[in-house]
Amino acid sequence: KAKQTNKQSVMILKSRKAGRLKESNVRLEDLYRKMEVLYRVLSKMYENSQVLMEDIQDQVMVKEQERKIIHTSHSAMKSAMSVISGDPDKRAMFDMAMESITEDVASKVGEMERFMEMSSSFMDSVDLQNGVFEEEGLKMLEKWEKEGVSLLLGEEKEHLLLQANNEQDVLDLDAPIKEPIREGRRNQYDNLFD
């Protein structure tokens, strides 16, 4: 009878351990999926931020060139002065266009900052050593996933989320982060004053 009781207690211990391990695996799989989404989005944000940075540099370069041309060319200087001081309608249109560019860049940079803050908070809340993760970090990531279209990612946000939840699309962490390739030197503001 003692032999059977001992086997019974060993069986109970082993079954409880198996249950805990199974529960832990479920939690870790969920955490893995969330971290995969985060990684894919951060990679895409990095790629898009490179393009945004190049766009801003292009805008600055174009504005510097315009300024040099205005200072070196008398006729261009007269045109610029008539726009800036002479015709109030043209000046208002110029000011509105510049304000639009400023707001667009600010909103895109703001979205990047919010996402970086959220992802930093999420990563701080993950304790892989103990297999514990805080609900706050996960809630923030889930909120971002459910929010509307991203200004930076656009339609690509939905594609990234589908990719991360697709069992066949395995994330290769050793793959290099894609550097964006810009064709030509064009951006969304090129035809703003045409």
Residue 18 confidence (pLDDT) above 60: yes
Give the span between the Cα atoms of 44 and 64, in whole angstroms. Answer: 30
The residue count for the chain: 194
Query: 160 is written with which tokens?
Result: 């990234």
Place of tokens 């174009």: 62
Q: What is the reported pLDDT for 174?
A: 77
Q: Is residue 155 within 8 Å of residue 67, measured between CB atoms?
A: no
Entry pTM: 0.43
pLDDT band (50, 70, 90) for residue 97: confident
CA–CA separation, 41 and 7 (whole Å): 51
Tell me the pLDDT band of 135, cut-offs 50, 70 and 90: low
> What pLDDT was estimated at residue 183?
58
Whole-number Å distance between alpha carbons of 13 and 121: 37
Tell me, what DSSP letter sits at residue 179? P
**Per-residue pLDDT at 146 exceeds 60:** yes
Average pLDDT, the chain: 73
First to last CA, the chain: 95
pLDDT at 107 > cutoff 70: yes
At 93, list the tokens.
């249109």
Identify the pLDDT of residue 67: 66
Convert the pLDDT of each residue in 34-86 to its tens digit: 888 888 888 877 877 777 788 788 888 887 777 676 556 556 455 556 666 66
Lowest mean pLDDT among 16-30, 75-89, 101-115: 75-89
User: Rounded to the nearest 10 degrees, how much is the dihedral formed by the CA atoms of 136, 151, 41, 106?
Assistant: -80
Look at residue 132 and tell me whether its pLDDT is greater than 60: no
Domain positions in the chain are 2-164
